[in-house]
Amino acid sequence: MSRAKNLERLDLEGCTSLVLLGSSIKHMNNLIYLNLRDCTSLESLPEGISLDSLKTLILTGCSNLRDFQIISEYIESLYLEGSAIEKVVEHIESLCHLILLNLKNCRRL
């Protein structure tokens, strides 16, 4: 995926074996949509990533995702429904473009 630098949409929905998202995603400077819905083994997002073009991030049903870091300050839609996050993102005030935040069924929150 390190060669997919112009990719705008990445849909990995239902990839239940995905534990970690590869660091090659940091080279996807045009990525505006990332769907990781029901990636039930996903534990965290790579640290130190900044995807300035990312507007929609779907982590619904990522039931092992306990920690969430801001990977784009330009996110407009953030779906964390049914994830295992234990606290709202630190520095959430930096998400000044956020229009939709879904925290439904975050039972550990």
**Exposure string (b/e) for 16-31, b if CB count within 10 Å is 16 or more?**
eebeebeeebbebeeb
Distance CA 7, CA 21 (A): 16
- Residue 85 and residue 108 in contact, taking contact as beta carbons nearer than 8 Å: yes
Q: Where exactly are the structural domains of the chain?
A: 1-109
Residue 2: predicted pLDDT: 67
The reply to whether the predicted model has a pTM over 0.85 is yes
Max mean pLDDT range (27-31, 41-45, 64-68, 96-100): 96-100
User: Residue 107: is its pLDDT beyond 80?
Assistant: yes
pLDDT band of residue 37 (cuts 50, 70, 90) is: very high
CATH of 1-109, one of 3.20.20.140, 3.40.50.880, 3.80.10.10, 3.40.50.620: 3.80.10.10
pLDDT bucket at 39, cuts 50 / 70 / 90: very high
Distance CA 36, CA 5 (A): 19
Q: Identify the pLDDT of residue 1.
A: 67
